[in-house]
Amino acid sequence: MFTSLPSFSAPFSLSEPSVSRPTTPLCSTPRKVSLRIFPDAVDNFHSLKGRRLVCYGGGAKLCRRFYGLKLWILENINLQQRNRKHGRAIEFKSIRSEEKDPLTNHLETTSSFGEGDIRLQNDSNEKTSTTLEHKASSSTHHQPDGSITSMESKPVVQAHSSSFSFEGREGPSLCIAVIGATGELARTKIFPALFALYYSGFLPENIGIFGYSRKNLTDEELRNIIASTLTCRIDHQQNCGDKMDIFLSRTYYLNGGYDNVQGMSKLNTLMEQIEGESEANRIFYLAVPQEALLDVTSSLARNAQTQKGWNRIIIEKPFGFDAPSSHQLTQSLLSKFEEKQIYRIDHLLGRNLIENLTVLRFANLVFQPLWSRTYIRNVQVILSEDLGVQARRYFEGYGVIRDIVHSHILQTIALLAMEPPISLDGEDIRNEKVKVLRSIRKMEPSDVILGQYKASAGDKVDVCWNSLTPTFFAAALYIDNARWDGVPFVIKAGLGLIKHRVEIRIQFQHVPGNLYRDRIGHTFDLGTNELILRDAPDEAILVRVNNKIPGLGLQLDSPELNLLYKDKYKVEVPDSYEHLLLDVIDGDNHLFMRSDELAAAWNILSPVLNEMDKKNIVPELYQLGGRGPVGVYYLWAKHGVPWAED
C-alpha cells in the first residue's frame, strides 16, 4: 500500500470484493459523492500501473472522487447485466432515459459512518427513486490489509460489494385488465396479442394480466380458455412453451358479478397485491357492449385507478350511434378521465398500410412535390370483404357506415391528406388530422350509394330480411382547402363482395400535351400514372408507369413496378392488435381518435344518417359474391373517376 499526498495509489480491480484503503481513513467526515463531479475526477486518474490505479490530487477530494467513480462503474455493470437478463423489455420512460446515457442521470450518494442515502433520479417526467438506509456501529476495525469492517450486521447495500442492488422491483410494474375477458374478441384477439408482445420482449417481466367478466371461473379455467389461442412467432420459436407457461402464470381472473362498483374494487385490491409497493401503471381494455360502457367506465374511474402511476383505458368502436349519442358518451368519459387517458381503438388502423402512409409521404422526396391537386387527379379508398366475413353486427343497427366508414375510412383519408405535422408526436399528428376532417364537405345524399347483399338461407351468411341497415357504402368526398380543392376522394366499402381487397389508389393527372397519346392504346385512362398502396390480398406498393413494349415499332404499355412485402421482407407481420396495444403502452396515440376528431367525423356523415333514419335512402340490393350495387358505376362516372379494376 502506498500513501502519498498529494498522490495516492490503490489496488483497482472489478473482480475483487473490496478496495484496500489506507490505514488512516481519508474520509473521516461525511462526504457527498455525486456523478456530476465525475468528469473532474477522471482528470485525476492519470495512469494504470499493473492492477493499481494511481490518483493525483488533494486528500480532501480524493475519497469523494474515487468512491463516486467506483459506484458509477458498478452501477453501469448492473445496468448491462439487467439488459442482458431481460432482453428487449418494454422501455418505460424512466428506464429509457437511464439506458440512453448513464452520465445524464444523477446518482447521488451520501457516504458516511452515520447514514447512507442512494438515490437514482431520471431527467424525464417519470422518476424512480430508491432509498437505502443503514447504520454502522460507532466503532470500526481496521484489518491488516487496510479494509474496514463493521461490528453491525450487513446493511442492504455494502460499499465494498462488486455490485449493488436496489430493493423492490427494477422498474414500474404494468397491469392490464381485459374487461369482458370471456368474449370472442378477448379470446381470439386481445389475449393472443398480449402474449405475442410478451413473447417478443415488449412487455415487462413483472406484468400482470387480469381477466374480468361476470362468469364464475377460476384462474386456471381462464388460462385453459385462452391457452388454445396462443401461438408463437413463426420466425422465432425459442422457448415457446416456457414463455407461454410464464405468461399464463401471470394471468388472473376475477368474477365481477353484476355490481361493477364492488367488482372494480375487488379488481383494484387484486392488482395492488400483484404490484406491491413499487410504481405501478394500469391499462383497462373495455371489450364490452356499448350499452354497458358508461356503467363500466364510471365504476372503473372511482374504484380501480392506481395512484402510483398512469391509467389508460381502451374503448372499442363504434363510438356512439350518431352525433348526439357520441357527444353524450364523450362528455361522460371526459368527466371521469383526461383526454390523454382515452384510447379509441380501431383494429383496421393498426395495419402496416396505415402506419406506412406518413412514411411514404414525408420520408420520400419523390412524392412530396406531387402531393396536391396540381398533380393528383383522384384518390380511391377501397375496403371490400368477401364471403368469409359475417355481418351480424351490421344488421343490429350500426351498419357499415358507423362501423367502418366513420373511423377507418375517414382516418385513412385524414392521414393521406393532412399537412406535415411539426413532429411525430401523437398530438401534433392528431392536430393535423382534425384540420382535414373539419375541411371535408358534408356528404350530399346524391353523392352516396348504399347497398345490402341479398342472400338465401343456403348461403350460410347472416340474413335479416326486414333490415335496411347497409352492408355496402360508396361516396365521393371533397376537401375544401388549398391543397385538395376539386380532387374527389371516392370511397368503396362493403361486405359479401367478389374478393377481399384493401387498398388506396392515387391516380395522377394526364401528361399535358402527351406526345404518345395515340400509342398508349384504346383507353387513354389506362395510361395514367398511379400509386397503389395495397394491404390485401398481398401487401404491396405498386407504381403504374408507361413503358415501351420491346420489339419493332412503338407501342406503349402500362406495367406496375411492385414492391411485394412477402418477397422483400421475410418476417411475420404482427397482428394489428399487437401494434395498437404496444402504442397504448408507449403512450403513442396518433392512430387513436381524439374527441374533436370523433365529432368532426360525425359531422361529415350526419346528413346521410339523417336521411337514412327518415327512410329517404333505401339500400340497393346486390348479389352476394358480386361486385356491388350497379349505381356505383354511375357515381364514379359522375365525378370523372375511372373504375378501379377488380
Strand 540-544 to strand 7-11: parallel, antiparallel, or no bridges (unpaired)?
A: unpaired
Beta strands in 153-256 (DSSP E): 173-179, 207-213, 251-255
Residue 207 near residue 176, CB atoms below 8 Å: yes
Cell of residue 343, nine digits: 384510447
**Active-site amino acid positions:** 408
Burial status of residue 551 (CB atoms within 10 A of its CB: 0-12, 13-18, 19 or more): exposed
Contact between residue 285 and residue 296 where contact means Cβ atoms under 8 Å apart: no
**CA dist., res. 646 & res. 137, Å (int):** 84
37 DSSP 8-state letter:
G
Instruction: For residue 587, give the nearest of 248, 311, 351 by alpha carbon.
Output: 311
- How far apart are the C-alpha atoms of 516 and 511, rounded to whole Å? 10
Neighbours of 425 (CB within 10 A): 13
Q: What is the DSSP string of 275-324?
A: HTTS-EEEEEEE-S-HHHHHHHHHHHHHHT--SSS-EEEEEESP--SSHH
- CA 134 to centroid of chain Cα atoms: 42
Place of cell 480524493: 62
Contact partners, residue 451, CB within 8 Å, separation at least 6: 470, 471, 472, 473, 474, 494, 619, 620, 621, 622, 628, 629, 631, 632
**Residue 257: how many CA atoms within 13 Å on its side-chain side?**
10
The partner residues of 621 in beta bridges, in order of sequence, read 452
What does residue 482 show for φ and ψ, rounded to 5 degrees? -65, -35
Eight-class DSSP state of 511 = P
What cell numbers appear for 531 in the block? 400509386
How far, in Å, CA of 311 to CA of 301, rounded? 9
